[in-house]
Amino acid sequence: MDFNDSPQEAEFRAEAVSWLEQNVPSRQELQGLDEIQRCKLWQKRKYDAGWACIRWPKEYGGRDATAIQSVIWNQEESKHSVPTGIFGIGQGMAAPTMMSWASEDQKRFHLPPLASGEHIWCQLFSEPSAGSDLAAVRTRAVRDGNDWVINGQKIWTSGAHYSNYGILVVRTDPDVPKHKGLTYFFLDMKSPGVEIRPIKQISGGANFNEVFFNDVRIPDEQRLGAVGQGWQVSLTTLMNERAAIGGGGGVGFDRVFRLAQEVTIDDRPAIENAQVRSALANWYCQESGLQYTGYRSLTALSRGETPGPENSIGKYVGASKTQDMASFAMDLLEMSGALQDPQSAFAGGMYPGTYMGSPGLRIAGGSDEIMLNILAERVLGMPQDIRPDKGVPFSEIPTGSNN
């Protein structure tokens, strides 16, 4: 057992390392560009050299790399502070869906610009009344000639305002059971009738948008899968959802450990306090456990196996850990833990900032409760919850005042 690469892995890593060293954009190159321009510059450079979306087939702009190679690439790339991140949904979720469900022409047309960063895609799944219960989407699509006419609202769409395309799940038949009445499309985000409004979060940030559809027309060619097959198509997308969401936020063990070395309790470093030590030890066990669980799944990849459900574990454990650690760090600072003021806040207000951001980690990408259900059902093989909505026409499923 070791943490080392196999010879082939080592060789590949070396190649990646040297290319990165020579090609990571300098500060000057990025000077004066906004975040999106920076991301696009770097993505294009990788694409031209064959380092973009390396797991993809060559003909779609990839490199035909293996799973472990792409992990190695990501490890090495992440060692540099390079602008990425706006492509995650397009390359990570939309592309795999296109690969399994789009026509050959569509793939050859849409995938290369996704790889090169020329096109940015977003996801239009969740709705105010369809969160954990995603299949409850109400946004309607009605056939009109060769087009479909879309009306309704989506929510939690990141990057909607700068995306070229979006993947979309809508209801085409409300009179059949809810999983059977869905259809899946991709659409041009510049289509008339698409209205985008940012959502302000309790953390103050606005990383998400609401997207409204008023008689938006989508040509039937942009349908993925058959009419009514939308749920199966979305599963392809969701299987690729980056569980990266909510790994941990800014506040991790080492940071709070160092804080406890810095601040004092009764004139002694807080780290000497047994209660502080005990709390930190438990968090270390969680972080360490997640880290080595990750190594085990990398090993599975490296052996050509598919890793287990550790991603949902990481998301589930990491979110509450982050929330509790942020709260605990504020306690260590006592009254000044509450400060968010740029001028006087400790560590730039990172702890209250994380305290306000962490509730989102416990919800986004599957709430704690959904994660536990997934673990119980898919890993332990326990029965699904009773579903009174099973087999009921969607239009007859009861809803509440808060839906």
Partner 1 sequence: MNFEFSQDQELLREQARGFLDENCSLSDVRKILEGSESYDSGLWSKIADLGWLSTVIPEEHGGLGLTYYELSVIAEELGRAIAPVPFSSSVYLAAEALMLAGSSSQQQKWLPKLAIGEAIGTFALAEGAGRPTPKSLTTTASNSSISGTKIAVPDGDIADFAIVVAKCDGGDGASVYLAELADVARRKVSVIDPTRSHAQLQFDSSKAELMGSEGTGWSLTSQLMDRAAVMFAWEQVGGSASALDQAKEYAMGRYAFGRPIAGFQAIKHKLANAYVKNTLARSNCYFGAWALAGNEAELPLAAATARVSSTQAYYFASKENIQTHGGMGFTWEFDCQMYYRRAKLLSVALGSELWWQDRLISAYERSNQPITA
What is the contact surface with a copy of itself in residues (CB under 8 A)? 273-278, 386, 388
In terms of CB distance, is 160 or 333 closer to a copy of itself? Answer: 333
Cα dist from 113 to 4, 43, 87, 164, 370, whole Å: 35, 10, 11, 11, 35
Min. distance of Cβ 389 from partner 1 in angstroms?
Answer: 3
Task: Kindly state the tokens that stand for 356.
Answer: 């306000």
Min. distance of Cβ 271 from a copy of itself in angstroms?
Answer: 11
What are the helix (H) ranges across 51-90? 67-78, 88-89
Helix, strand or coil, per DSSP, at residue 161: helix
In the range 194-223, which residues lie near partner 1 by CB under 8 A?
199-202, 204
In the range 126-155, which residues lie near partner 1 by CB under 8 A?
126, 128-129, 131-133, 136, 155
Q: With contact defined as beta carbons under 8 Å apart, do 286 and 317 qualify? A: yes
Min. distance of Cβ 393 from partner 1 in angstroms?
Answer: 11
Min. distance of Cβ 92 from a copy of itself in angstroms?
Answer: 36
Torsion angle in degrees (nearest 10) through CA of 163, 89, 122, 395:
180
Q: With contact defined as beta carbons under 8 Å apart, do 226 and 163 qualify? A: no
Min. distance of Cβ 178 from partner 1 in angstroms?
Answer: 9
**77 belongs to the binding site for partner 1 (CB under 8 A):** no
Residue 36 contacts which entry, a copy of itself, partner 1, none (Cβ below 5-8 A, type-dependent): none
What are the helix (H) ranges across 208-273? 230-239, 253-262
List the x/- string, 265-304, binding to partner 1 by CB under 8 A. Answer: xxx--xx-xxxxxx-xxx-xxxxxxxxxx-xx-xxxxxx-
In terms of CB distance, is 21 or 377 closer to a copy of itself? Answer: 377
**379 belongs to the binding site for partner 1 (CB under 8 A):** yes
Cα dist from 30 to 44, 59, 248, whole Å: 14, 30, 28
Min. distance of Cβ 325 from partner 1 in angstroms?
Answer: 12
Residue from the set 24, 176, 363, 393 that interacts with partner 1 by CB under 8 A: 363
List the x/- string, 320-359, binding to partner 1 by CB under 8 A. Answer: ---x---x--xxxxxxxxxxxx-xx-x-----x--xx--x
26: CB partners within 8 A, 6+ apart: none
Span from 18-26, 52-60, 223-231, 260-268 in contact with partner 1 (CB under 8 A): 260-268
Residue 383 contacts which entry, a copy of itself, partner 1, none (Cβ below 5-8 A, type-dependent): partner 1
Min. distance of Cβ 385 from a copy of itself in angstroms?
Answer: 9
**243 belongs to the binding site for partner 1 (CB under 8 A):** no
Ramachandran bin of 301, using left for φ above 0, alpha for ψ from -120 to 50, beta for the remaining angles: alpha
65: CB partners within 8 A, 6+ apart: 54, 55, 73
309: CB partners within 8 A, 6+ apart: 374, 375, 378, 379
In terms of CB distance, is 176 or 300 closer to partner 1? Answer: 300
